[in-house]
A and B are shown apart, each in its own frame.
Chain A
Amino acid sequence: MNSSPSPLPVTDSSHQLKRFWDSGPAGWNKTLTSPRVMIPFFLVALAAPLLLQYIEDNSSWIGAQYWTLILATCAMYACLAVALNLLVGYAGLLNLGFIAFFGIGSYAYALVASDQIHQRYPLWAALLVVIVVTLAFALLVGVPALRLRGDYLAIVTLGFGLIMRDLILDLDRPPVLAGHQFGPDGLNITGGTNGIHQVQAFTLPSSLPLLGPVPHFRMYYWLFVGLLALFIYCMLRWRNTRTGRAWVAIRDDELAARAMGVNTFKYRLLAFSISAVMAGIVGMVNAAQIFNAFPSPNFDVQTTVMVFIMVILGGLGSLPGAILGAIAFTIPPFVLQQFVFYKYLIISVVLIAVMVFRPEGLLGTVSIRPRKMMGGTLELITAEAAVEASELPTVTDAEAADLEATAGAIVEDPEWKT
């Protein structure tokens, strides 16, 4: 499908490195998301806690559990960054209430896995509940809001995030509106500021063949890494489908996309819902990992900003960039404990610097650099843009004819019907 020329066979590794570097962000992304990089990466990631345990067992160092926990947090944020990347990097939508879906997932799971409302569901039922609830909220917000312009979408989603936070904090007692109490005394759905405690973890085998007993913290690290792998795999597959191309088209120039017959609303809703459900599932695993569903940071706007900056620093539209961004912003705060005080200060300075000097981030393939507006030809085709164009899957003549034929009609996407 992709039409980049295959590289000349090289035997020299430094030559290979130079080719890699020269290929620019688009090339880096392609190389880094290829199976020959991704598979070893994930194998190493999975093996990491075992290595740490080995070191701990054979020296005086104690820190395997702690570091596995840090890596698990990193993997979790990487999952969130990938989900946000879908929304912002692929489809170009600004969802400032993004973290609310993470929170909704965590609370939905907590409600069916604890004594809060006296319901305990098995894992598969709980997963279904999380998906359905998150999807319902995504549609509730998305259907009305996605018809609005970008900035308005940002405001509405921000408002949604704030409303959800308020509701979570306030539904620890029956709401009293205009003097009337709605609900019986003692109604406590969300646990208020405390959150929901004593959430049951997933019922998983506590020991695996060949690996022996697996402690809780290690199991959840593996779950997050597995989830990350799943998300990345889905994203890579999606990119080459009609849906993926539609997203990119909408992001780059919505008017043109509409003119080509792409049902922008439907695809926006799709991106919005999928990223929301992804975030919800991550929330569910988090709740099971820490045995709690907390209102903060699960619903804090600062957390959304954190994930945003991971995506931006890594580069919009870049999956490896999202992982890099997640690593960059989860590990240093742990390592530099004494600088935790300055954490948000440093984060905000980095964000501004990246936006001003290199808005496409480290590995970004989306050019949001300022384009010259006047005084000569529009510099649309910069070198970067040219590489971008070659990196994107090209539309074949048959597909172009297909699009023309369906221009203006409601476009059904057969791939999505599965």
Chain B
Amino acid sequence: MGIFLQQLVNGLELGSLYALIALGYTLIYGILELLNFAHGDVFMIGAFLAAGVAGLLVHNEVAMVPAVLAVGLMLLVGMGGAGLLGVGIERIAYRPLRNANRLAPLITAIGVSLLLESAVQVFVSPAPVLVPSNALVPQTVLHAGSIETPLTGLMLLVVSVVLMIGLDLFVFRTRFGSAMRATAQDREAATFMGIDVDRVITVTFFVASALAGLGGVLFGLRYGTADFFMGYLLGIKAFTAAVIGGIGNLRGAMIGGVLLGVLESLVGGFISTQFTDTFVFLALIAVLLVRPQGLFGQPLTDRA
């Protein structure tokens, strides 16, 4: 039982990371019906930005400024930088294709993803980069009975939950959130209602990318490392989570992310660490076949 709970806790922490990134996927899909394959790489850029800031502020495993300040700066740069990157990508690569055949932005997104990965590989580092987390965050290990977890893991979980709630409030309780939902529902009609669709899309991209960037910063603090390829598999899995939860549905993304993390941990703990990815994708396929709209999505109309 103890092991089960431990793996469950591992899964919740992993899942909260997936959920954070899945939220971004689902936001963008809801607004543009675009699978933004580059989203996982925005997460990676966030982590690298954080690593860069940390590298400047930490020397020989000692922080030159108060740790809280350093972490705050990392968050600012990581989230802000990622957000701006997302906006830039939308402007340059997706906006020109907004009314084109569905294939077009999808393929472009793949191109953007590849571009980000290779750019970091070539211009920053092909090898993993250190994030000196020891100097910035206390490395205590928390105990509860037989369950152990690092403080940073719990931090990841808590921050993710807080942000998810915040986003939920933003989208469902504010005027701008209504504008977002309106645009997601029917872009043409939203324009008729006086909504500046371009602005809504820009802000959505900023928020989604900033969330991914936040995930990157937290990841760096938790695992102490970043490399150019980290966004790839994580992005695919977060995206899987979004689809399982119901793409376009915020709560679905959160729950899908957590569920996926738990599934992965339990499979890894009790079945096999080799086939965790296989099970994850089988779960995806199963959900898509049985309930294509995902767990919380609206039933799809039969559109071509």
Contacts and interface: CB of A to CB of B under 8 A. Distances in A.
Note whether A and B contact each other (Cβ less than 8 A): yes
Interface of A: 88, 92, 94, 144-145, 148-152, 154-156, 158-160, 162-163, 166-167, 170, 175-178, 253-255, 258, 302, 305, 308-309, 312, 341-345, 347-349, 351-352, 355-356, 359, 368-374
B271 interface: yes
Interface in B85-100: 92-93, 96-100
Contacts of A355: 93, 97, 104, 107-108, 111
Contacts of B303: 149, 255
Interface in B101-158: 101-104, 106-108, 110-115, 117-119, 121-122
Contacts of A253: 304
B114 A348 contact: yes
A125 to B, nearest CB: 30
Given A150-B103, A352-B115, 11 more contacts: A94-B103, A148-B288, A156-B284, A162-B281, A163-B281, A170-B275, A344-B121, A349-B115, A351-B114, A370-B96, A374-B188
B304 to A, nearest CB: 4
A356 B240 contact: no
B253 to A, nearest CB: 15
Range of interface residues on B (Cβ < 8 Å): 35 or more
8 contacts: A149-B300, A155-B243, A159-B284, A159-B285, A166-B277, A170-B274, A255-B303, A345-B118
A155 B114 contact: no
Contacts of B113: 348
A305 B282 CA distance: 23
Given A151-B35, A170-B275, A144 B285 contact: yes
A130 to B, nearest CB: 24
A258 B101 CA distance: 18
A356 B103 contact: no
A308 B107 contact: yes
B240 A155 contact: yes
Contacts of B292: 148, 152
A356 B96 contact: yes
B92 A356 contact: yes
Interface in B246-284: 270-272, 274-275, 277-278, 281-282, 284
Contact of A348 (B102, B118, B188, B284): B118
B159 interface: no
